[in-house]
Structure 1
């Protein structure tokens, strides 16, 4: 009798340890995946569903108004135009995850472009060295923001608002009396931002590589979860997702190859988004960012170096702003006093918010910079194609931003009522 009892207790558990908390469950079958998705929707955990639905609706409306909107040529231009400000938005996502804001990214991007142009054109520095110098300046700017915030308690809103004005002046000072610096036509950064595209075969190889990479990373996650006694998705479901991802990227590559194909600049933008997403989800630093954004005091009591997190995030935000300014300089083939101005701040911040990053901190994904920027650039491109005035674009963009924030507030309220934070 005792032997049977011992054998029965030695059997592996049929219920995984994380099944006691539905927020930690990793669905292990397609049916459970669907039920988990419905459960998350009902509890207010909307994720990127609203922005994906919105993007489909926007594309359908503009295609109905002007079929050229979904032409291969227009989509290639849309991807190129999205990458510059979209790179700036990557940094905004990081800051918003902490529940903070940076209003100076437009001015900082203009300073970055100006530094690159002046060092390269007037001082004769090698282009790559000038690029690295601009990125280092971005890191220094963000580090100053972080020090002001952590050491003196100055609100990020005030710091970045002051930076918006100050670095606008720095940009005018760097450019000097000419006000505009034209990059040489044979500069590789101009070719990179406008004329370099993947060969057809390379774009299809990229689709296969993306599917294999996704499958490999997910299999590592499955192995770790199972070794910890946690539930995990089935290998079949992961394989199906990997195949669907490969087919989607391959189909997109085929359609874009009808015109010019996948540009190097948007490819770099997407690659950085994927890398930053992995860093946030799979590294200690990334988990600390979410922890500080979710509850700073709890993170501090847990032993997290909160000030270091703030310092690193502000530094990265300014660096990405400079990176976007450098790409914009290559795209426009020049840097002027207006670079980084107009609606650059609006677009970068709005893209992150529309993409699903919570203004309250602690929730969101770097992919918000991709999806949100595609939404905004689709609105701009579509309205231009149907001949709508610029003021209407601002009105529509503002309305979409208010709608995104409203959805975020409602979903946050739903999560609280269902016990999900």
Structure 2
């Protein structure tokens, strides 16, 4: 009996081991690939329903629509990487925009002064939230309460009429400014050259350490980046030119990428998110890393709010409300950032914003009801979190309690 039953007992264990290995491999793999596949499917479906979906004009509109979500999602990524969460940054973006617009339009101060004041306001709020969180109160509760407080604060910051119009002011030029085609192609060429130089430097570093490195690993990414940059410039310059908000987003993504991948700060950031206790035993300043992440979120919220106010030509009590917070969190998670901390990439903010924005744009273009948009966004978020849970525990089955 023992001989006949042992294979049957060992087979399920072997199968579980094989599945576990596959899940671990997926967790280590580049998680942007499934996101790109989903994005391609979304574009194909909406294009089959309306050929105008992939027109130059609609792609330009899509780009402008996702900038605010992507910038805010970038800040959310930093907070998620250290294992925290924030629910107040969308409303905070409205408060920062109200501060900047009020000083620029109503008080007549120069635009740089208003922008600086908005950024300082965002950092001040997230600094206070981080201090309360480090005291031991869960970030979910702190930021939920902060969201309610900020909804009242925006009423205090706004003038008695509860609105600030920026139409016809320098503030409105933030969203309306475009880069001519010639300068846009020059920027694309500079970006391509910089990326090629970076990949060649990495290739040389690998060879110097004796590691194997193929030329294809250098050439293929460079070709892809060049195609994306020049293709994007070609598409966006068919209308008015390369939008300034897109350049702002690109600059913020590059700075964040460098900070998280090429500096000690980035190593500490992922270490804190991966295992906070182990990071603390290794001498990493955990509390300081959490504070830094929330300060970055404050900057991103301020910039997102000001870009959105410039695009909407005004600030009101509804600024930062609606689905913005949901879309920002969904963009970060759908793009591949883990809700459990320690896993994710800065570029997930952009990819996730593209997925969420593509759904919203397609629903609006087809004239579908708003509830379809919410159904689709919520479903994508749930699926993304479910995948993240499976990757985090390394099994398709829930753990036994």
- With over 3 angstroms needed to count, the CA separation of the structure-2 counterparts of 1:184 and 1:258, relative to structure 1, is closer
Report the TM-score, using the length of structure 2 for normalisation: 0.89
Alignment check: 8 A CA contact 2:24 2:394 kept: no
Match of 1:179 in 2: 162
Q: 1:416 to 1:407 in 2, by over 3 A?
A: closer
1:324 aligns with 2:309: no
The answer for the alignment partner of 1:24 in structure 2 is: none
Q: Which residue is 1:387 aligned to?
A: 367
Find the partner of 1:137 among 121, 133, 147: 121
Correspondence 1:19-418 to 2 at 5 A: 42-46=25-29, 47-150=31-134, 152-187=135-170, 189-194=171-176, 196-227=177-208, 229=209, 231=211, 233-414=213-394
* Partner SS state of residue 315, structure 2: strand
Cα distance 1:374–1:279, how it changes in 2: closer, same or farther (>3 A)? same
Query: For the Cα contact (< 8 Å) 2:335–2:347, is it kept in 1?
Result: yes
Asked if structure 1 preserves the Cα contact closer than 8 Å seen for 2:67 and 2:249, the reply is yes
Match of 2:5 in 1: none
Q: Secondary structure at the match of 2:329?
A: helix
Structure 2 CA distance for aligned equivalents of residues 225 and 288 of structure 1: 23
Give per-residue Cα distances to partners, 1:355-410, cap 9 Å, x unaligned: 11011110000111101111111111100111101111111110010011112122
Q: What SS does the corresponding residue of 1:231 show, helix, strand or coil?
A: coil
Give per-residue Cα distances to partners, 1:121-160, cap 9 Å, x unaligned.
222211110110110111111111121122x111111110
Gaps of 5+ in 1: 1-37
Whole-Å separation in 2 of the counterparts to 1:146 and 1:225: 40
What is the Cα deviation at residue 40 of structure 1? Answer: 8.7
Q: 1:171: how far off?
A: 0.4
1:260 Cα shift?
2.4
Matches of 2:266 and 2:368, distance apart in 1: 42
Q: In 2, Cα distance between the equivalents of 1:325 and 1:43?
A: 36
Q: CA RMSD in A?
A: 2.0
Q: Write the distance in 2 (CA, Å) between the matches of 1:243 and 1:43.
A: 25
The SS at the match of 1:181 is: strand
Aligned residue-pair number: 376
Task: Quote the Cα distance in structure 2 between the aligned partners of 1:44 and 1:239.
Answer: 26
Provide, for residues 298-320 of structure 1, a one-character-per-residue CA deviation record: whole Å limited to 9, x for no partner.
Answer: 11111111111011111111221
Cα distance in structure 2, aligned partners of 1:361 and 1:81: 28
The farther-off stretch of 256-265 and 307-316 is: 256-265
Q: C-alpha displacement at 1:257, in angstroms?
A: 2.2
Cα pair 2:272 2:342 within 8 Å, conserved? yes
Query: Shift of residue 219 of structure 1?
Result: 2.6
Distance (Å, rounded) in 1 between the aligned partners of 2:87 and 2:252: 22
SS in 1 for 2:178: coil
Relative to 1, partners in 2 of residues 1:232 and 1:142: Cα closer, same or farther, differing over 3 Å?
Answer: farther
Shift of 1:39: 7.9
Cα distance in 2 for residues equivalent to 1:247 and 1:267: 18
Task: Name the residue aligned to 1:31.
Answer: none
- Structure 2 unaligned residues grouped into runs of 5+: 1-20
